[in-house]
Structure 1
Amino acid sequence: MTVTGWVAQRLLKLPPATVRKVAVERDLPIPADDGVTLLANHWSPEGEQKHPTALIRSPYGRGGPLGWMFGRLLAERGFHVVVVSTRGTFGSGGGEFRAMRQERADGHAVLRWLAEQPWFDGSVVLTGPSYLGYTQWVVAADAPVQVKAMVPHVTSSRLAMTFLRPGRIELETLMNWSVLTATQEQRFAGLRASFRRKKVEAAMRTLPLADGDRVALGREWPFYQDCLHHDQDDPYWKDEDFSDTVGEVKVPVSSIAGWYDIFLADQLRDYQALVAAGRPPRLTIGPWAHSDLRGMAASIWETVRWAGPLARGAKPAYRAPVRLFVMGVKQWREFDQWPPAGYTQQRWHLREGNALGPVPGGFMPPTAFTYDPSDPTPSLGGAKLEARGAGAVDNRPLERRSDVLTFTSDVLEADLEVIGEVAAEVWLRADRPSCDLFVRVCDVDRRGRSVNICDDLVKVRPDGITKVSVQLSPTAHVFRRGHRIRVLVAAGAFPRYARNLGGDEPLPTATTPHRTTVEVFHDAAHPSAVLLPTK
Structure 2
Amino acid sequence: MNPISPLLERLLKLPTPATRNLLVQRDLRVPMPDGVELLADRWAPRTGGERLPTALLRSPYGRNGVFGTLLARPLAERGFQVLIQSTRGGFGSGGVFDPLRQEREDGLATLDWLVRQPWSGDAIVLVGASYLGYVQWAVADRLPPQVKAMIPQVTESGLTLEFLREDGLSLETPFGWGVQVAVQERRFALFRQRAQAKKLEQALNTRPLAQADVVAIGHRSDYIQDVLTRPEHHPGWAAADHRHRVADVTVPVSSVAGWYDIFLPGQLRDFRTLQEAGRRPRLTVGPWTHAGRPDLLAGTGQTLRETLEFGLAHARGEEPPERAPVRLFVMGEEAWRDFASWPPEGYAPQRFHLQGGGALAPEPPGESAPARYRYDPADPTPAAGGVRMAPDAGRVDNAKLEARADVLTYTTAVLGDDVEVIGDVSAEIWFRSGLRFADVFVRLCDVGPDGRSVNVCDGLTSLRDADQLAAVPVRLWPTAHRFRRGHRIRVQVSSGAFPRYARNPGTGEPHATAVTLRAADQEVHHDPAHASAIVLPVRDFRQ
TM range (shorter): over 0.9
**Partner residue, 2:383:** 379
1:215-234 alignment runs, 5 A limit? 215-234=215-234
Which of 347, 354, 359 matches 1:355?
359
**SS class of match (2:169):** coil
Kindly state the Cα deviation for residue 372 of structure 1 after the two structures are TM-superposed: 0.3
Q: Determine whether 1:438 maps to 2:436.
A: no
**SS class of match (1:121):** coil
Q: Determine whether 1:40 maps to 2:43.
A: no
Q: Determine whether 1:527 maps to 2:531.
A: yes
My pick for the range that moved more, 7-16 or 50-59, is: 7-16
Q: Whole-Å Cα distance in 2 between the matches of residues 501 and 48 of structure 1?
A: 62
My pick for the range that moved more, 166-175 or 307-316, is: 166-175
Q: Determine whether 1:451 maps to 2:454.
A: yes
Which of 320, 327, 341 matches 2:331?
327
**Partner residue, 1:65:** 66
Q: Determine whether 1:423 maps to 2:448.
A: no
Q: Whole-Å Cα distance in 2 between the matches of residues 33 and 55 of structure 1?
A: 19
Q: Whole-Å Cα distance in 2 between the matches of residues 375 and 320 of structure 1?
A: 47
Letter of the aligned partner of 1:88 in structure 2? G
Letter of the aligned partner of 2:500 in structure 1? R
**Partner residue, 1:398:** 401
Q: Deviations over 1:365-388 (max 9, x none)?
A: 1000010000000000001124x1
**Partner residue, 2:250:** 250
Kindly state the Cα deviation for residue 2 of structure 1 after the two structures are TM-superposed: 2.9
Q: Whole-Å Cα distance in 1 between the matches of residues 289 and 394 of structure 2?
A: 6
8 Å contact kept, 1:406–1:487: yes
Q: Whole-Å Cα distance in 1 between the matches of residues 535 and 116 of structure 2?
A: 54
Kindly state the Cα deviation for residue 47 of structure 1 after the two structures are TM-superposed: 2.3
Kindly state the Cα deviation for residue 439 of structure 1 after the two structures are TM-superposed: 0.2
Kindly state the Cα deviation for residue 392 of structure 1 after the two structures are TM-superposed: 0.4
Kindly state the Cα deviation for residue 12 of structure 1 after the two structures are TM-superposed: 1.6
**Partner residue, 1:503:** 507
Q: Whole-Å Cα distance in 1 between the matches of residues 267 and 429 of structure 2?
A: 26
8 Å contact kept, 1:87–1:94: yes
Q: Whole-Å Cα distance in 1 between the matches of residues 268 and 467 of structure 2?
A: 33
8 Å contact kept, 2:435–2:467: no
Q: Whole-Å Cα distance in 2 between the matches of residues 364 and 330 of structure 1?
A: 38
Greater than 2 Å deviation, 4+ residue runs: 46-50
8 Å contact kept, 1:20–1:46: no
Q: Determine whether 1:290 maps to 2:290.
A: yes
Q: Whole-Å Cα distance in 1 between the matches of residues 17 and 530 of structure 2?
A: 60
Q: Whole-Å Cα distance in 2 between the matches of residues 429 and 15 of structure 1?
A: 57
**Partner residue, 1:129:** 129
Q: Whole-Å Cα distance in 2 between the matches of residues 406 and 15 of structure 1?
A: 47
**Partner residue, 2:260:** 260
8 Å contact kept, 2:259–2:478: yes
**SS class of match (1:458):** strand
**SS class of match (1:29):** strand
Q: Determine whether 1:179 maps to 2:179.
A: yes
Q: Whole-Å Cα distance in 2 between the matches of residues 101 and 515 of structure 1?
A: 39
Q: Determine whether 1:80 maps to 2:81.
A: yes
**Partner residue, 1:344:** 348
Q: Deviations over 1:464-487 (max 9, x none)?
A: 211001111010010001000000
Q: Deviations over 1:427-459 (max 9, x none)?
A: 011111110110000000011110000101110
Q: Whole-Å Cα distance in 2 between the matches of residues 439 and 504 of structure 1?
A: 21
8 Å contact kept, 1:324–1:334: yes
Q: Determine whether 1:205 maps to 2:209.
A: no
Kindly state the Cα deviation for residue 188 of structure 1 after the two structures are TM-superposed: 0.8
8 Å contact kept, 1:167–1:507: no
My pick for the range that moved more, 203-212 or 35-44, is: 203-212
My pick for the range that moved more, 7-16 or 304-313, is: 7-16
Q: Whole-Å Cα distance in 2 between the matches of residues 73 and 99 of structure 1?
A: 28
8 Å contact kept, 1:19–1:76: yes
8 Å contact kept, 1:306–1:316: yes
Kindly state the Cα deviation for residue 282 of structure 1 after the two structures are TM-superposed: 0.6
Letter of the aligned partner of 2:183 in structure 1? T
**Partner residue, 2:269:** 269
Q: Whole-Å Cα distance in 1 between the matches of residues 245 and 73 of structure 2?
A: 33
**Partner residue, 1:24:** 24
Q: Determine whether 1:12 maps to 2:6.
A: no
Kindly state the Cα deviation for residue 363 of structure 1 after the two structures are TM-superposed: 1.3
Q: Whole-Å Cα distance in 2 between the matches of residues 181 and 326 of structure 1?
A: 34
8 Å contact kept, 1:104–1:135: yes
**SS class of match (1:452):** strand
Q: Determine whether 1:483 maps to 2:487.
A: yes
Kindly state the Cα deviation for residue 170 of structure 1 after the two structures are TM-superposed: 1.6
8 Å contact kept, 1:52–1:123: yes
**SS class of match (1:473):** coil
Q: Determine whether 1:166 maps to 2:166.
A: yes
8 Å contact kept, 2:434–2:467: no
Kindly state the Cα deviation for residue 171 of structure 1 after the two structures are TM-superposed: 1.5
Uncovered stretches (5+) of structure 1, i.e. residues with no partner: none
Query: RMSD of the TM alignment (CA)?
Result: 1.0
8 Å contact kept, 2:76–2:82: yes
**SS class of match (1:419):** strand
Identity, in percent, stands at: 53
Q: Whole-Å Cα distance in 1 between the matches of residues 393 and 273 of structure 2?
A: 28
8 Å contact kept, 2:59–2:131: yes
**SS class of match (1:307):** helix
**SS class of match (2:35):** coil
Q: Whole-Å Cα distance in 1 between the matches of residues 238 and 195 of structure 2?
A: 37
**SS class of match (1:298):** helix
Which of 517, 521, 532 matches 2:521?
517
Kindly state the Cα deviation for residue 48 of structure 1 after the two structures are TM-superposed: 2.4
Q: Whole-Å Cα distance in 1 between the matches of residues 522 and 460 of structure 2?
A: 15
Q: Whole-Å Cα distance in 2 between the matches of residues 61 and 246 of structure 1?
A: 27
Q: Whole-Å Cα distance in 1 between the matches of residues 101 and 363 of structure 2?
A: 51
8 Å contact kept, 2:5–2:20: no
Q: Whole-Å Cα distance in 1 between the matches of residues 449 and 308 of structure 2?
A: 41
**SS class of match (1:495):** coil
How many residues are matched? Answer: 533
Q: Whole-Å Cα distance in 1 between the matches of residues 191 and 363 of structure 2?
A: 54
Kindly state the Cα deviation for residue 18 of structure 1 after the two structures are TM-superposed: 1.7
Kindly state the Cα deviation for residue 20 of structure 1 after the two structures are TM-superposed: 2.5
Q: Determine whether 1:368 maps to 2:372.
A: yes
Q: Deviations over 1:350-372 (max 9, x none)?
A: 10111111112211110000100
Q: Whole-Å Cα distance in 1 between the matches of residues 34 and 90 of structure 2?
A: 17
Kindly state the Cα deviation for residue 46 of structure 1 after the two structures are TM-superposed: 2.9
Q: Deviations over 1:38-62 (max 9, x none)?
A: 0000001132264100000000000
Kindly state the Cα deviation for residue 339 of structure 1 after the two structures are TM-superposed: 0.4
Kindly state the Cα deviation for residue 463 of structure 1 after the two structures are TM-superposed: 4.8
Q: Determine whether 1:90 maps to 2:100.
A: no
Which of 417, 433, 440 matches 1:414?
417
Q: Deviations over 1:14-38 (max 9, x none)?
A: 2221223111000110001100000
**Partner residue, 1:51:** 52
Letter of the aligned partner of 1:38 in structure 2? L
Letter of the aligned partner of 2:449 in structure 1? R
Kindly state the Cα deviation for residue 229 of structure 1 after the two structures are TM-superposed: 1.2
